[in-house]
Amino acid sequence: MIYFDKVTKIYNDNTKALTDINLKIEPSEFVSIVGHSGAGKTTLIKMLLAEDRPTEGRVIFESTDVHTLKRHHVNKLRRRIGTIFQDFRLLPNKTVYENIAFAMEVADRPDDEISSDVPYVLDLVNLSSKAFNFPDELSGGEKQRVAIARAIVNQPDVIVADEPTGNLDPLNTYEIVQMLKKVNDLGTTVILTTHNKGVIDELSKRVITMEDGKIIRDDPTGRYVL
């Protein structure tokens, strides 16, 4: 379970990115967070990944306040949360195979496990033929599928996808959303931030709407309303 307890974030220039956020996400839930640019969606994600600290409040992940964790434990936490970003964030000097294997290596997984699991997830995201290509040899959709493969390979508890379809055409967007749904069907919590109305309407899952750093709507089977 993930719980944001009265989380407020004020940056040094007095910009209020989040105001008094109370949010509870149950295991295996698929939650979409929508809102205009600057609404606070990405800041909320950063709080969960311990990339940024809240000015006030707590972010609880399975009964632990993530901002009280020591560095080593933050790394362990991040290995339990798969991340997918709009700009893919792949390692440019590693092949597709190595990008996915890297996530397993940092989790201290043995070589034999890596050599059996990586081809398996590559097959899941339909990229077996591109295993030894570098990221700059892939299309946007393919890069995002690599990012998904990397995010799921360690079988994390949560997948955080921050605008994963922002740079993709409708066909690729559809494919990525279907993959996220499949991951969620297998029991992984998915937190998706997006601007894409079509994606939200297609999902018919819980939708949280943010505006000016506040949650203004929380619909259990929501629609995209801004």
Partner 1 sequence: MFSLTIKRIIKSGALNFLRNGVVSLSAVLVMIITLLILAGVIFSSALLNHTLISLKSKAAININFFESVSEQSVLKVKSDLESLPQVESVEYVSKEKVLENYIVRNRDKQTLLAPLEILGSNPFGASLNVKAKELSEYESINNFLIQNYSIDTTNSIIDTVNYSDKKLVIDRLTSIISAGEKFGAIVTILFIILSILITLNTIRLAIYISRDEIKVMNLVGADHGYITGPFVVAGAIYGLVSAIFVLIVLIPITHYIGQDTARLFFDLNVYQYYLQNFWQIMSIILVSGIFIGSISSFLAIKKYLQNK
Which positions touch partner 1 (CB under 8 A)? 49-53, 71-72, 74-79, 83, 89-94, 102-103, 105-108, 110-111, 150
Residue 97: exposure state from Cβ atoms within 10 A (0-12, 13-18, ≥19): buried
Q: Which is nearer to partner 1, 117 or 215 (CB)?
A: 117
For residue 13, give the DSSP letter: T
Q: Which is nearer to partner 1, 6 or 73 (CB)?
A: 73
Q: Which is nearer to partner 1, 131 or 212 (CB)?
A: 131
Q: At closest approach, how far in Å is the CB of 93 from partner 1?
A: 4
Look at residues 55, 113, 106, 105 and name the one whose alpha carbon lies nearest to residue 77.
Answer: 106
Q: At closest approach, how far in Å is the CB of 134 from partner 1?
A: 8
Q: Which is nearer to partner 1, 70 or 220 (CB)?
A: 70
Q: Which is nearer to partner 1, 26 or 111 (CB)?
A: 111
Pairing of strands 189-194, 30-34: parallel
* Beta-carbon contacts of residue 18 (< 8 Å; ≥ 6 apart): 7, 8, 9, 40, 43, 44, 47, 54, 213, 214
Q: At closest approach, how far in Å is the CB of 131 from partner 1?
A: 16
Q: At closest approach, how far in Å is the CB of 18 from partner 1?
A: 16
Expressed in percent and rounded to 5, the helix, strand and coil fractions of the chain are 40, 25, 35
**Torsions phi, psi for 54 (to 5 deg):** -75, 150
Separation between Cα atoms, residue 34 and residue 194, nearest integer Å: 6
Q: At closest approach, how far in Å is the CB of 181 from partner 1?
A: 23
